[in-house]
Amino acid sequence: MMIKESEPRSLGLPAPEARLQFGTEPHELGGGPRRRLLLIDDAPAFELSFPCGTCPFLFRRLEGANEKLSLENMQDRLTAALADPDDGGVIEAFGALLPEGEYLPLLLEVEPRLVVPGAEGDYFSGEQVAAWGVDQFWGLPQYPHTTGGRGLFRLCTIPTSPT
């Protein structure tokens, strides 16, 4: 449930300084991008889905995801409820990890729960099948290869310009 939406704003640091960045692997001349990546300190940390709407969901951990990316000074602030996304410098603190861009901060209330692939509540065997059907080749839902959480974020910052 959305609690509050802030105004879109510019956040982030120039690409060489931002700890988090989005990118793709280099491709051969004339070819398309190979993998879409979330980089931490310039190392590929997670492989991401392409946002085409037809590709299966992907958020796969890679070898570059080998440390916690935590803001110690925000831990106490985030243990209590926020009334506004701008409370206590939270957006600015996390914005300093992001690449420069336009972002839309949202404050959401969500109850997290663990979801096992194929079990009740699994997006891939529920909502995705209802919307898109099963994989035409395999005749099965997409398989995410891991358990996951539904609704893990209370504060969400959405990029409003493409990266």
Average pLDDT over residues 77-106: 86
The residue ranking higher by pLDDT, 59 or 17, is 17
**23-32, 67-76, 116-125: range with lowest mean pLDDT:** 23-32
For residue 14, the model assigns a pLDDT of 93
In this prediction, residues 44-63 reach a mean pLDDT of 74
The answer to whether residue 112 scores a pLDDT higher than 80 is no
Token pair for 21: 């960045």
Name the one residue in this structure whose structure tokens are 């909502």.
Answer: 127
Pairing of strands 113-115, 20-24: unpaired
* C-alpha dist (Å) from residue 16 to 97, 108, 157: 11, 30, 21
Q: What's the confidence (pLDDT) of residue 13?
A: 93
Helical H runs in the chain?
Answer: 72-79, 90-95, 127-132
The Cα 60–Cα 30 span in angstroms is: 26
Identify the bridge partners of residue 37 per DSSP, sorted by sequence position. 23, 47
The reported pTM is 0.59
Tell me the torsion sign for CA atoms 83, 13, 159, 70: negative
